[in-house]
Structure 1
């Protein structure tokens, strides 16, 4: 934000009219930040005239609601800096940014990054950017921040129940947050630079990418055996297996009938435990039942928690309740679990003591916090009654009153860390139990009078084995040292030295990015990689098209990175996806930028080529220090992107020796840099890989099919960019060479990109060129092909089919006609099926008018026809073509046009003038 300036105040004073105009969620590096961020465009209205210092009481009201804002440093770099700015005067968008960050901090999310910048050309509007950890919470933080700022401007005009709103916000944070166990694993993953992706709104998470990915759901992992989970869920089966292995377990039996439960209890001997066969979290478990009446009374509560209606009756093992956590066959933590209880003070009732205990900020609902709130439910009331208490009883000072029988954290219990006190015999027993059940992560419930002594001496037994055990009693014990148990979990999923990421090559640019991406993918497949490729045609896994759509955005990138077959990703990155969501991943090992020319200008706030270059440079900013950016040295806007790269920079250039661009690259090579250049030889032009003074010949351009004997200069550039990317990714030179030589620009490997079909002796090329730079390059190629034919004595005409996209500016559409005029003898102007908001015929007419004007002023004599329907336009061009002519079709629906070409050679031809609208020449009217 700019410093406060002198403004003309509204005589009526400030009005609380800060509003949110639009919201974007960036899920990866973006135009504003290296990391994910929330982007709100806010409108200050009359508040543009009122910085914070000009509103009486504003700063005091805001800091009264959020006193922790005094910890914000802002631009000063020291605590309290933001409050200083408030007193000096700063604008409401900047203030809302800090409030949104602080609200998330209050919810336990540590976020600090933010910036607020004015929207060019829109006084009073600002881009408000701030970090977030959870998307729904980040969005809610921005919305609440705006309400808070408006309230502090004028509490009467913008009333706000701050406490209620904050409570609602914090409850949302609790609902969307990961549980302590999942969060511990994610925190450890982040510390190891292992990427993660939330797969649902709960605790289902992917760690790593592609072939290296592992999944977790809470503390169940990709390696957790479903059979082992079933065994652990059947307490009777678990006990049978453990007893068969000679491990200490209680005597037990199962039943569906209360009377039979009594019989089992009398057979094994009182006291007994009654619990559901397949329950969890201690629900329905009743301990120390001393007679038949107690068993009959306990049976209904146990059977109600059993999914299969089966109840376990087992001998009661006296002692303390311990939980052993076993990961990968080793005990990594041990906690003593103490049942929920209150301590009397001689004045308060049990209900009051429980309420006071629940005020502990560490207690929440379920597993949302490190401790669970204590509930005076039916089971608790019954247990109190057994002890002679009611909720209104006042226990004497210092008296412990247990509220539940079990020490489960989910029923309000507390934990004491005992990891370093356990006897080795007991450790061996717990590890053996996990191995017998077959769980990679297991919670072993152990009852023993003293865990520091062997159970063989003091007694004790394993009473339960749990799949998906909770971590919070170990990571956040009520007493004792926390155990960093996420480390062995990550060691299990990603052993030290094993990869978690797949190499990512991101390709962007105005033209050529699809072909370049396909070339890179083809090279890497030849090198033995399983390639996931995104492009404007769809998502392909090992050349199989799995999704057919424009897949050059972040969602498609995530689709590839989730695929378990992919060990190399080539991602086409378009400007639209960057502006809409960011990259969708955190970094790319190689970034390729082919060029930046005028296209899509006037959309989404991008009005100049320089702004477009800023957007596309995001992929360069996402290159880590170990990565490489492959940049087109012949494009000054791309060349400047080197300043945004943290890794190495490799250039590619078609420039001739002695040119400024060539000298620029040679200077970098003199410093040990790398580049891909062209070299003239007696046998022709060839591509050379350069590193410092070293020169490594790669391939003659005429041997690369995509260049059509070197005539397609844009594909020469694309091949050089692809070679540089594959080289940077570690591909051997012979694989790069073989890949370029075998990449044929047909409708299979490269649909819609300079596909060649011969129709009745005429050469027909189908391409997706749709902007001025693209169609001009296509025109240059057609002229080069025509010159090659003319050199052989053939009479050749150059025929083109082209159309403009309707959502471009008028001047951009007209430029299409202007640049193409010198390269064609006949141009058939068409329109896309999707007119994108323009009236039918308008885009075609603009192109045709520009073509006519350019042909007249340049003396080209270009014949112009308008055939709005794309298929009919292509038919007309074919009807005009004679053997030897070169026809270039810049189309929107390439697959349909290729089908037309195939059918055209087998069908009767239509009338040459069908569907043609001749463009009148005013000079002849």
Structure 2
């Protein structure tokens, strides 16, 4: 151990979970940190550490930590805690500094790695969370040993500015907060304010205060102030006289015709930029014309009559006034001591003021126009105004120019409310900001004088949600009411399927059942993303990104997700929760990767789906698998069991007890006529289908598909599908290549029975071998003269453990006469031939023990292996191809069939006729 601590804390690995994960029910950031020499120095051994960190991040005093009370973390600091734990709390505190109320976190030592810790904490914004993690580590190291280059104040300010750049504006955040309070899911679609509320067919989009229901034509009309005024005037609404001009001379002539004072403003500006008020003469009009034209996208300027009075913003949502605010231009009030310049600095020091729309108020900007306006009021910026004297710094009351707001929602006269609502209807906006200029909003504007000077699309909410004076208005509620009326659905049903083997077939069965019911199903699997039976992306899509892609598709009204172990460990689920979680089995596969070394740890990963089931959801669990059976304890909803065990077994007794308590289950009931799938619900029993009559089960011989059928039927039943629809879906689902590519596809090639399957691990090979034995027996009974041979083409992925590869070969040797060992295109870190060599070792060991196999051959390329196996097969033989690229394999098999049908004596693609083909040397045991 070092005599003194050195700043060795380092981030070794970073993962961002965008949904439920192995550490948390919600999205989290996971760091693996290395303490180095700091492993020997808890906080109470580092002089001044606790005092310094509390001075820099005083919010840590509020953290309860594991003590469950305020100040609990400070107690831990004083008692001595490790610096990985400190980094976790610093990352949380930094996020709280920028307004993200995140309190979830945990730190655990990495098993078998002294000094390494898993640091996990929640986040609201991914980029802010990651920046907080990096700054937290730097801060801890700085407190261990001061770094002269580390300026805490500058670092904290830079962090705050970064957070403000990525944060939602007040309007967007208000809508999201309201949606979350109603359990409406949301997805950020870009780095700005484009957000999706809801899922699939129920999804709505917002960009700030524009919604997917906002008319583009209405936005164009509102941006054309001349057209807006003419439309409102034609409807009999009070509007000022105005005309559009393109030159200074035209502006002067119009101003003289209308009569001074006038207003000059851009035709299509926003946020009050370029608006010049109370112009009294030709000189002021000419000067203002240049200012307004700079802010006009089309170069057109509006000259209109100046209406005197107060500035009011009426917010109209879905045709109704939701809030009214009086906008007061930016100004300061003299105290008899401070200069105008000093008064502005004091006002800008208000913590509520920020840059742009980042806070509830905007900082007052002292530009040339502000200085001129101050001068017109008889002051210089260095003058001291008398006490109580108000000095204006802007003429317009826009919040973006530093103005303040006063809530007047319940003070407006009903006639004025009607005028504002009619104006929004005339323009056609679902959310509109109507700008009134009138002496008093409490009196009818038609009597007191006043007019509508503008109609704004995408009006800001912050003057209403955070008024400077008055009660805040909860205007996000009517927006969400408009998008999702009370009782409307925002979520689509999600069925998530996981397990070591059978995930893809089960997912396809479930999708097929609901497609038959008329649902637009979005499915992810290892083959790609399928939307309404169309493969839109061809890749391994069993991860969280593919799931989010389905949830964003506006056609999908039902989602089926195949969820693999890798995606959960890499990013979490990618969504908040699933209505039905299906766990088929947990068997040793992919062990030794990403810290998963045992099958029990693998079960913990797959149990994330069960933990993501809500109280009104279901977990469909395989009662025959002890590890899956234990997952029932993690389910908040109801458990639906499925089992292949016979009546009278311990498992069936457990299921019977479960059903007597009102539970649900699907089981097999054997009889002289075969096996019947029976649905149990409470004390009721309903027959579903004979297993041997379902095409996917090959007459009941494919026991793995019997299990998959039980899981799929149970999931459909839990998701609310009627029994006759489940029955029809199972009867019409087969393992042909079009419905289930690469999963137990059966084809006949020149009299040879060929099975194409994706089997790639030892447990899967055990189930496939059982199927081969059952099929092989039926083939043997139909051939009296010679026993048909069983030829298998096998392989496994290079990221398996060496013992797993040997076990695959050992099991395969029990069921095949000849084995051809190939390799995948992606070697996954192995040398060419290394994976095949390990599989062959397992085969040879089994042969030495007396296994069925008598010959093993190595043909590394997949298509070459298929050609070799087909060339040595005879009519009546059984060839099983465990594929990597199933489309290429099926195309090759089709070539063999087509040539035979054409009567060719030799297939030009066969090894004998291909001049570039070199026959492999047999590797006999």
Out of 23, 29, 32, the residue aligned to residue 38 of structure 1 is: 29
Give 5+ residue unaligned stretches, structure 2.
Answer: 900-905
Q: Is the CA contact (8 Å cut-off) linking 2:106 and 2:120 kept in structure 1?
A: yes
Deviation at 1:159, TM superposition (A): 5.5
Partner-residue secondary structure (3-state), 1:591: strand
Q: Which residue of 2 aligns with 1:311?
A: 301
Q: Which residue of 2 aligns with 1:86?
A: 77
Partner-residue secondary structure (3-state), 2:814: helix
Q: Are residue 109 (structure 1) and residue 100 (structure 2) matched?
A: yes
Q: Which residue of 2 aligns with 1:458?
A: 448
Deviation at 1:920, TM superposition (A): 4.6
Deviations along 1:62-83, one digit per CA (max 9) or x if unpaired, are 1111122110001111000000
Out of 311, 323, 326, the residue aligned to residue 321 of structure 1 is: 311
Q: Which residue of 2 aligns with 1:191?
A: 181
Deviations along 1:735-792, one digit per CA (max 9) or x if unpaired, are 1111111112111111000011001222110001000011121111011011123344
Q: Is the CA contact (8 Å cut-off) linking 1:848 and 1:919 kept in structure 2?
A: no
Partner-residue secondary structure (3-state), 1:917: coil
Question: Which stretch shifts more, 644-653 or 846-855?
Answer: 846-855
Deviations along 1:451-482, one digit per CA (max 9) or x if unpaired, are 11111221111100000000000000000000
Deviation at 1:664, TM superposition (A): 2.2
Q: Is the CA contact (8 Å cut-off) linking 2:34 and 2:115 kept in structure 1?
A: yes
Deviation at 1:332, TM superposition (A): 0.6
Q: Are residue 915 (structure 1) and residue 914 (structure 2) matched?
A: no
Q: Are residue 805 (structure 1) and residue 809 (structure 2) matched?
A: no
Out of 60, 74, 89, the residue aligned to residue 51 of structure 2 is: 60
Out of 819, 827, 848, the residue aligned to residue 840 of structure 2 is: 848
Q: Is the CA contact (8 Å cut-off) linking 1:326 and 1:441 kept in structure 2?
A: yes
Q: Which residue of 2 aligns with 1:739?
A: 729
Q: Note the 1:705-744 alignment, pairs <5 A.
A: 705-744=695-734
Question: Which stretch shifts more, 659-668 or 405-414?
Answer: 659-668
Q: Is the CA contact (8 Å cut-off) linking 2:911 and 2:919 kept in structure 1?
A: no
CA change 1:744–1:158 in 2 (3 A) is farther
Q: Which residue of 2 aligns with 1:862?
A: 854
Q: Which residue of 2 aligns with 1:498?
A: 488
**Structure 2 CA distance, aligned partners of 1:302 and 1:673?**
72
Out of 449, 474, 482, the residue aligned to residue 464 of structure 2 is: 474
Q: Is the CA contact (8 Å cut-off) linking 1:867 and 1:915 kept in structure 2?
A: no
CA change 1:535–1:831 in 2 (3 A) is same
Out of 278, 285, 289, the residue aligned to residue 275 of structure 2 is: 285
TM-score normalised to structure 1 length:
0.97
Q: Is the CA contact (8 Å cut-off) linking 1:372 and 1:412 kept in structure 2?
A: yes
Q: Is the CA contact (8 Å cut-off) linking 1:620 and 1:641 kept in structure 2?
A: yes
Deviation at 1:347, TM superposition (A): 2.1
**Structure 2 CA distance, aligned partners of 1:390 and 1:904?**
94
**Structure 2 CA distance, aligned partners of 1:222 and 1:859?**
65
Partner-residue secondary structure (3-state), 2:813: helix
Question: Which stretch shifts more, 654-663 or 774-783?
Answer: 654-663
Deviations along 1:507-565, one digit per CA (max 9) or x if unpaired, are 11111000100110000000110000101111010110111111001110011000000
Q: Which residue of 2 aligns with 1:6?
A: none
Partner-residue secondary structure (3-state), 1:421: coil
Deviations along 1:806-860, one digit per CA (max 9) or x if unpaired, are 1211111101011111111111111112222222212112111211111221342
Q: Note the 1:549-564 alignment, pairs <5 A.
A: 549-564=539-554
**Structure 1 CA distance, aligned partners of 2:141 and 2:310?**
56
**Structure 2 CA distance, aligned partners of 1:861 and 1:115?**
52
Deviation at 1:386, TM superposition (A): 2.1
**Structure 1 CA distance, aligned partners of 2:924 and 2:668?**
46
Give 5+ residue unaligned stretches, structure 1.
Answer: 1-8
Deviation at 1:265, TM superposition (A): 1.1
**Structure 1 CA distance, aligned partners of 2:128 and 2:852?**
61
CA change 1:861–1:292 in 2 (3 A) is closer
**Structure 2 CA distance, aligned partners of 1:129 and 1:574?**
22
Out of 652, 668, 672, the residue aligned to residue 642 of structure 2 is: 652
Deviation at 1:879, TM superposition (A): 2.0
Q: Is the CA contact (8 Å cut-off) linking 2:794 and 2:819 kept in structure 1?
A: yes
**Structure 2 CA distance, aligned partners of 1:49 and 1:158?**
25
Q: Is the CA contact (8 Å cut-off) linking 1:151 and 1:159 kept in structure 2?
A: no
Partner-residue secondary structure (3-state), 2:689: strand
**Structure 1 CA distance, aligned partners of 2:879 and 2:568?**
35
Deviations along 1:231-279, one digit per CA (max 9) or x if unpaired, are 0000000000000000000011110011111111111111111100000
**Structure 1 CA distance, aligned partners of 2:767 and 2:437?**
79
Q: Which residue of 1 aligns with 2:521?
A: 531
Q: Note the 1:814-853 alignment, pairs <5 A.
A: 814-853=806-845
Q: Which residue of 2 aligns with 1:26?
A: 17
Q: Are residue 662 (structure 1) and residue 666 (structure 2) matched?
A: no
Q: Is the CA contact (8 Å cut-off) linking 1:629 and 1:648 kept in structure 2?
A: yes
Q: Is the CA contact (8 Å cut-off) linking 1:533 and 1:560 kept in structure 2?
A: yes
**Structure 1 CA distance, aligned partners of 2:109 and 2:757?**
41
Q: Note the 1:634-649 alignment, pairs <5 A.
A: 634-649=624-639
Out of 252, 260, 275, the residue aligned to residue 265 of structure 2 is: 275
Q: Which residue of 2 aligns with 1:886?
A: 878
Question: Which stretch shifts more, 373-382 or 275-284?
Answer: 373-382
Q: Which residue of 2 aligns with 1:153?
A: 144
Out of 66, 85, 91, the residue aligned to residue 100 of structure 1 is: 91
Deviations along 1:40-95, one digit per CA (max 9) or x if unpaired, are 11100111111111111111111111122110001111000000010011110111
Q: Are residue 121 (structure 1) and residue 125 (structure 2) matched?
A: no
Q: Which residue of 2 aligns with 1:228?
A: 218
Q: Note the 1:680-699 alignment, pairs <5 A.
A: 680-699=670-689
Out of 605, 609, 617, the residue aligned to residue 595 of structure 2 is: 605
**Structure 2 CA distance, aligned partners of 1:554 and 1:911?**
43
**Structure 2 CA distance, aligned partners of 1:698 and 1:861?**
40
Deviations along 1:113-143, one digit per CA (max 9) or x if unpaired, are 0000011111000000001000000000011
Q: Which residue of 1 aligns with 2:903?
A: none
Q: Is the CA contact (8 Å cut-off) linking 1:775 and 1:890 kept in structure 2?
A: no
**Structure 2 CA distance, aligned partners of 1:239 and 1:385?**
33
Q: Is the CA contact (8 Å cut-off) linking 1:778 and 1:888 kept in structure 2?
A: no
Partner-residue secondary structure (3-state), 2:767: helix
**Structure 1 CA distance, aligned partners of 2:898 and 2:289?**
82
Q: Which residue of 1 aligns with 2:368?
A: 378
Deviations along 1:705-752, one digit per CA (max 9) or x if unpaired, are 111101100001111111111111111111111111111211111100
Q: Are residue 254 (structure 1) and residue 254 (structure 2) matched?
A: no
Q: Is the CA contact (8 Å cut-off) linking 1:753 and 1:766 kept in structure 2?
A: yes
**Structure 1 CA distance, aligned partners of 2:379 and 2:737?**
82
Q: Is the CA contact (8 Å cut-off) linking 1:674 and 1:689 kept in structure 2?
A: yes
Deviation at 1:916, TM superposition (A): 2.0
Partner-residue secondary structure (3-state), 1:675: strand
**Structure 2 CA distance, aligned partners of 1:859 and 1:750?**
32
Question: Which stretch shifts more, 461-470 or 772-781?
Answer: 772-781
CA change 1:911–1:180 in 2 (3 A) is closer
Deviation at 1:603, TM superposition (A): 0.9
Q: Are residue 367 (structure 1) and residue 357 (structure 2) matched?
A: yes
Question: Which stretch shifts more, 650-659 or 214-223?
Answer: 650-659
Deviations along 1:413-467, one digit per CA (max 9) or x if unpaired, are 0000000111100000000000000000000000110111111221111100000
Q: Is the CA contact (8 Å cut-off) linking 1:783 and 1:798 kept in structure 2?
A: no
Partner-residue secondary structure (3-state), 1:193: coil
Q: Note the 1:166-205 alignment, pairs <5 A.
A: 166-205=156-195
Q: Note the 1:343-354 alignment, pairs <5 A.
A: 343-354=333-344
Q: Note the 1:754-833 alignment, pairs <5 A.
A: 754-794=744-784, 795-833=787-825
